[in-house]
Structure 1
């Protein structure tokens, strides 16, 4: 399942007929009553959510960095709503679900650091709603979280963290279409766990497996089935390397989905674009802090990766 598979699948969905058939299959799979009727009623809405969402991304790709976060954020929101229609045909059930589901704190005018900025999760709104219904995360594992921790969860930023911090934020543990996951023994030190406890910690996030010791310096897990590139924590998918990565430090071990992290980052950046114009202008024109390379690189990654990951979700709904 690669980028071209997702692109082809989005093309397949670009008609009312195919969207209706796709939704009907999703509704039957999820035991939703009146699947045929509901899929017919939602087919245009689903199609327009996809079409408008991808158009926001295309426009963002050709736009100045000044407005990219806003365009990518609303592109993501439209794609999320399309995904929600596959499981919640009555979405939105009430107006509280139309809120973003997250807030930003007041910013200090001086010494502000994006990497250390935080967002706070709300009990109602789109963020907790899609986290539950798309990724089965009923309880968000954090009440607030800073931007650096969210960025660390994105494997494509690993090199940038290495250049800035002189250490890897994540390590590669396996390849797409392989059933083998490899772990260096020294990861046990950063997690402060024995090998058995470490494997036990990971086991709930993996298909059935057996352990095989290959070298003195590492151990390997052989899975019963291949991992799919969904990027569900704690194992995240590197889209450029077609590989799976794990945070190197236990403090960055998270079980939330990477899509959730992109949403929070884009929400915060889109708010900065709109309401912190002076800081945003200084960032783009004078490049004063290390925030700039992280934000710039993140925007180039999320432009491709968020549509890909949500496309993976939709394709899995069809094939599941």
Structure 2
């Protein structure tokens, strides 16, 4: 799906009538009761979530790095809420789902490193809620996540990790034409798995697959095509339009990439607001590797999250 198509579709939804029609069609496809009533009740809320979300993103793109994490995080939250209305017409059902659903350390240590920081997923709140209802992912498997691991799961960050670690965090496995992806044989060594065990793991997470050897690589064929919504372990590189796969088992996961951006932006927005001295020093002194990684991530997420969530909405049509 092209970025221009997604943008035009979001523009198409920028009226009460088109928003209402879209919601009604979406609810009817899911066989919901009172689809007509809910679509009228939610049309303006849906419209304003989209409008406010994209306004935050547009403002962030024109703002200094100092305030970008706050603008991007709340822009993302508004777009997520718009997506939730397509699946949960009574959202929010209660006040517990209004919390962020994630927490960070209250005070940063003296030798604090963002790459080594962690966030903790809470039992209730927006993060576990949208993970379940938008992406069918159970938050229990993500109780604590490290920032470096999260950043390493974003395909557009792969080169940065190669510069830092001399090894890529993800490998390019191709466009997936006819559902076929190309893997180097070394992947099995990195995962410490036999061919059969590797295939079993993939079957468990993504469905039926088959393997064919060819020289120093093997071809993996998927029965069902992968969506560019970018869900691990097959992650979509927006610029190259190819799919990436975790190079090591340490990076392997089955989370939707939107979830990863949410956790990173939440932590950065909290740092931006409450750790202003560290944040100011980072931006002005550029003292360690945190700076280029954060700067690169902010540039990527500004474009990619509206694309991914826009495609989520488009696929409901």
TM tier, smaller: over 0.9
- SS of residue matched to 2:142: coil
1:283 maps to what in 2?
Answer: 282
What are the within-5 Å matches in structure 2 for residues 144-223 of structure 1?
Answer: 144-175=144-175, 177-206=177-206, 208-213=208-213, 215-223=214-222
What are the within-5 Å matches in structure 2 for residues 7-156 of structure 1?
Answer: 7-156=7-156
Residues 199 and 209, structure 2, Cα contact 8 Å, conserved in 1: no
- SS of residue matched to 2:116: coil
1:316 aligns with 2:312: no
Cα distance in structure 2, aligned partners of 1:50 and 1:77 = 10
Cα distance in structure 2, aligned partners of 1:177 and 1:300 = 29
* Cα shift at 1:273: 0.6
- SS of residue matched to 2:220: strand
- SS of residue matched to 1:74: helix
* Cα shift at 1:178: 4.3
Residues 141 and 256, structure 1, Cα contact 8 Å, conserved in 2: no
Residues 141 and 255, structure 1, Cα contact 8 Å, conserved in 2: no
Structure 1 alignment gaps of length 5 or more: none
Report the aligned-residue RMSD: 1.2
Cα distance in structure 2, aligned partners of 1:44 and 1:119 = 34
Residues 97 and 129, structure 2, Cα contact 8 Å, conserved in 1: yes
* Cα shift at 1:207: 5.2
* Cα shift at 1:140: 3.3
Cα distance in structure 2, aligned partners of 1:39 and 1:229 = 27
- SS of residue matched to 2:114: coil
- SS of residue matched to 2:206: coil
1:107-145 superposed Cα distances (whole Å, 9 cap, x missing partner): 334110000011111101000000000001134312111
- SS of residue matched to 2:221: strand
- SS of residue matched to 2:173: strand
- SS of residue matched to 1:86: helix
Structure 2 alignment gaps of length 5 or more: none
- SS of residue matched to 1:260: helix
1:148-183 superposed Cα distances (whole Å, 9 cap, x missing partner): 010010010000100111111100112165421111
Cα distance in structure 2, aligned partners of 1:104 and 1:119 = 5
- SS of residue matched to 2:145: strand
Structure-2-length-normalised TM-score: 0.97
